[in-house]
Chain A
Amino acid sequence: MKTKQVNKSRRDFLRTSVLASGGMIIGFNLFNACKPDVKPPIDLSLLDYNDFNAFIKISDDGKVTIFSPNPEIGQGVKTSMPMLIAEELDVAWKDVNVVQGVLDTKNYTRQVAGGSQSIRQGWEPLRQTGATARQMLVNAAAAKWNIDPSECTTKEGIIKNSNGDKLGYGEVVKEAALLEVPENVKLKDPEDFKIIGQDISNVDIDKIITGKPLFGLDYKVDGMLYASVLRPPAFGQKLGSFDDTNTRAVNGVQDVIKFGEKIAVLATNTWSAMKGKKALKAEWIEDSKPENTKFHDEKLLGLLDGSSFETLRKDGDVKNAFSEADFVLERTYESPFLPHNCLEPMNFFANVTADKIDLVGPIQTPAGTAYGVAQMLGRNMDEVNLQMTRMGGGFGRRLYGDFAMEAAEVSHLAKKPVQVIFSREDDMEDGIYRPAIKYRIAASVKDGKMTGYHLKEAAINSNMYGLIPNFFPAGAIDNYQVDVANYKSNITTGAWRAPYTNFLASAEQSFFDELAEAMQVDRIQLHLDLLQNVKGTTDDRIQYSPERLEGVIKLAVEKSNWGKTKDGIYQGFAVYYCHNSHVAEVVDLEMQNGFPIIKKVTCAVDCGIVVNPLGARNQAQGGVLDGIGHMMYGELTFADGMPQSNNFDTYQLIRINQTPQVDVHFVESDMEPTGLGEPTLPPVGGAIANAIYAATKKRIYKQPFINNLELEALKL
């Protein structure tokens, strides 16, 4: 077949038509719209409606429905992304209804929701989509009035002309849908925004607070069986023999199915499935050597002491700088594995039949997962339908579709619709964890100036990648080097909220606090001085803006009353850039019986234009408190390949009585919006450690901090 030249113009991303039921529908592919520089995987000119996954429907009465396909994991995009469309469409938000669309995975394989990128990448194209639709409606009205479209204005879904005539969007949709899609439509001046920048409530709020079915675990169909899966209890084991006699005697258990190294117990209700699983007797065979936390600690420290590093960035000559220095400060920072602990445990529904495969559930990577299922079962992608539910948390865990693959495999073997449900214990024991990571940071000082900086990372499996070494303080110090080394473990690891930097920021910002003291300079001033060196840099690898980091530092200092607090309150400062946003934080704490009580966190954020301040504040506060919880208490240890915590009685998540007030201050900006789901988390660990030092004169180098405090209470 001859391949046609693909013309990636805006009109290829939009299709309109009149609905038989009245009104107009505009289809677009949100993932392509949000990534205009991504090469379309197929010939766009051949697209039909099946190829679109996002729709705007304007009905005859002017009501607007936006079908949004985006995975919603609590980061608020189901609200904020439609806001961008509605703004340029120029309708009143109260007239907009947002519906989670069914995802069509047929032709697309690049649909990842992660990395705090949804709003950043959707900013321009989603507004373009809304503006284009508005222009078509205006063009239709102008044609009716026989005037030029430029003589028309719009407001809240009403088109007016200079004679004072009015037409509602609903009155012109039929005509508008038949018009040619205009290109290069002008976008609003930010000063004219009516929806962007307003506090808009979560679109699912009523359903959430009344307990309507929304989440993966709430999904059910007639005849569906609940599946509880027994997996190897330790990493490094495979299934030997098993006996399911007792399991089959449990009321409600319908079937027991071995698949791979796992056994699924299928029952008519969740409790029977879970009971049936507990009644299984299985023998496990060692497949690879089981590992434990002490072994990991030794391996990682050994890597830091050794020379098997890959260098990710090298400026100047750190070795030389260190040899000529007045002094070199070197410190090691250590962090454990962390489970994600989404409050909704992993789960997925699958119904594999001869004609098609239906998959329903909470997933951050719908297309990749659908593709994986098709590959596994030897089926075509166009037989797979994947429907996303709201997610009870993601934090990176739901980037991995292992639970959906399990559901599909079990349904395929059972020939029944099946929902695989992880118990909390399964969820914590069969995780894809934040890897244990250790850093060794060294800096040289000569004549009162920082002359060298050497960051070494040792991580289980893998962590830092090429972009991260271009974050602060890259570019600020002439001699700068970042090295990484890994130990390949049989424990599964992956992305965890603010991947790669969630502990790095804490380590580096603790280090800078200690370095400033050793240099006898002000810790804030040290940062500001370093940022001066980066201004006007021609190094296009540098990811952060020195001006914007300076901006958040100054805002945090001002809003926190830095250095001017009352007696007994100790402050710690940290600043960080990640996910395209700049954040500075100040922790205020007091000591009670040697225990740090965090009273307040001041959080200054530059994420460009704040699309939805209400949602943005929630994200920023949540990120800070999540960071406090995990830095203080988070730790998953291993013995004989087995996780040593598996529920909330042995794994501590932060609770309300442990949380301070988080005061969030956004830098006023007319820059494009950037990420917010993650960037407030990484700096808070450093700010806590630095505040604890201010209070106790003791440095903490190891997460979780709770294990490394000299608690007066424990000495009694």
Chain B
Amino acid sequence: MPVYQLEINDQTFNVEADRDTPLMWVLRDQLNLVGTKYGCGIGQCGSCTVHIDGIATKSCLLQVSQLQGMKITTIEGLSKEGLHPVQEAWKEIDVPQCGYCQTGQIMTATSFLKNNPKPTDSEIRNAMQTNICRCAAYNSIEKAVKVAAKKLS
């Protein structure tokens, strides 16, 4: 099997995998970065969202062979020390019910707020619709993104 060099959370990993292996499974099965969740495998639910060069991307759709030279950030690497302001907002609002989708939600929100620090309500709803929350904690997610935007500004 080929070996790929991946830069994840500012660390370099050499990963042996078939070229079509989705990044999501490399993270979860090989690197033990299980904060990136499997939900659908077809880019519909957003549970596996990571940042590629700072942009929220679904890691189930990325093949391990496509990622050389790119900077990958997972939930585990979102903040070097303590919690990222988006995570703090999630905690403050107590967003999670079952909690399974929330790392993906946080990764989407973080990337979105970086590009749009003062979003309107409809921009928030538009941006966050890439992520499904089966418990439908959507009112809390919306509130938490607003709180996070305030924290970041």
Contact = CB atoms under 8 A, between A and B. Distances in A.
A661 interface: yes
B126 A621 contact: no
Nearest to B145: A656
A615 to B, nearest CB: 8
A269 interface: yes
Given A201-B94, A251-B18, A656-B141, A214 B134 contact: no
B61 to A, nearest CB: 12
A210 B83 contact: yes
A51 to B, nearest CB: 30
A434 to B, nearest CB: 15
Given A618-B137, A661-B139, A209 B87 contact: yes
B97 A619 contact: yes
A230 B22 CA distance: 21
B76 to A, nearest CB: 6
B39 A343 contact: yes
Contacts of B28: 217, 270
B135 A344 contact: no
Given A208-B96, A210-B76, A656-B138, A392 B45 contact: no
A400 interface: no
A430 to B, nearest CB: 16
Interface in A198-226: 199, 201-202, 204-206, 208-215, 217-218, 220, 226
Given A211-B36, A269-B29, A648 B94 contact: no
A73 B94 contact: no
A659 B125 CA distance: 9
Nearest to B39: A343
Interface string B46-57: 010000000000
A621 B136 contact: yes
A648 B34 contact: no
A657 B126 contact: yes
B86 to A, nearest CB: 9
A208 B141 contact: no
Contact of A343 (B21, B35, B36, B101): B101
Contacts of A210: 35, 75-76, 83, 87, 103
A291 to B, nearest CB: 27
A647 B99 contact: no
B96 A209 contact: yes
Interface stretch (A28-36, A523-531, A622-630, A699-707): A622-630
Nearest to B22: A271
B21 A649 contact: no
Given A269-B25, A647-B40, A622 B135 contact: yes
Nearest to A655: B129
Contacts of B106: 209
Query: Which of B1, B96, B136 lies at the interface centre, i.e. has the most chain A CB atoms within 10 A of its CB?
Result: B136
Interface in A382-426: 390-395, 423-424
A656 B102 contact: no
Nearest to B99: A208
A208 B102 contact: yes
A654 interface: yes
A423 B41 contact: yes
A494 interface: no
Interface string B40-73: 1110110100000000000000000000000000
Interface string B118-153: 000000011011011111111111100000000000
Pick the most buried of B1, B18, B90, B106: most chain A CB atoms within 10 A of its CB: B18
Contacts of A629: 136
Contacts of B97: 74-76, 618-619, 622
A363 B83 CA distance: 30
Contact of B47 (A343, A618, A622, A658): A343
A662 interface: yes
Nearest to B101: A343
Task: From A201, A270, A275, A395, name the one whose CB has the most chain B CB atoms within 10 angstroms.
Answer: A270
A343 B45 contact: yes
Contacts of A709: none
A341 interface: yes
Interface string B81-117: 0010001001100101111111100100000000000
A345 interface: yes
A202 B94 contact: yes
Interface residues of A, number: 63
Contacts of A209: 83, 87, 90-91, 96, 102-103, 106
Interface in A591-627: 614-615, 618-619, 621-622, 625-626
A185 interface: no
Contact of B34 (A76, A217, A393, A626): A217
Contact of B134 (A270, A393, A647): A393
A76 B34 CA distance: 22
B152 to A, nearest CB: 16
Most buried by B among A209, A213, A226, A395: A209
B139 A393 contact: no
A167 interface: no
B30 to A, nearest CB: 7
Given A210-B83, A226-B29, A625 B91 contact: no
Contact of A271 (B18, B44, B125): B18
Given A269-B25, A343-B101, A648-B44, A659 B140 contact: no
A279 interface: no
Contacts of A215: 37, 100
Interface string B3-37: 00000000000000110011001001110111111
Given A269-B29, A649-B44, A205 B139 contact: no
Contacts of B17: 269, 271
B100 A343 contact: yes
Given A390-B98, A648-B42, A649-B44, A618 B34 contact: no
A257 interface: no
Given A271-B29, A343-B98, A392-B98, A622 B136 contact: yes
A211 B135 contact: no
A652 to B, nearest CB: 10
A99 interface: no
Closest 10 CB pairs of A and B: A211-B35, A74-B98, A392-B100, A625-B136, A648-B44, A211-B75, A208-B99, A74-B97, A269-B29, A218-B34
Interface of A: 73-76, 199, 201-202, 204-206, 208-215, 217-218, 220, 226, 251-252, 269-272, 275, 341-345, 390-395, 423-424, 614-615, 618-619, 621-622, 625-626, 629, 647-649, 653-659, 661-662
Interface of B: 1, 17-18, 21-22, 25, 28-30, 32-42, 44-45, 47, 74-76, 83, 87, 90-91, 94, 96-103, 106, 125-126, 128-129, 131-142
16 contacts: A202-B94, A205-B94, A205-B96, A209-B106, A210-B87, A343-B45, A343-B134, A344-B100, A345-B39, A392-B134, A647-B44, A648-B40, A648-B42, A649-B44, A659-B136, A661-B139
Given A75-B97, A205-B91, 4 more contacts: A217-B37, A343-B45, A424-B40, A649-B42
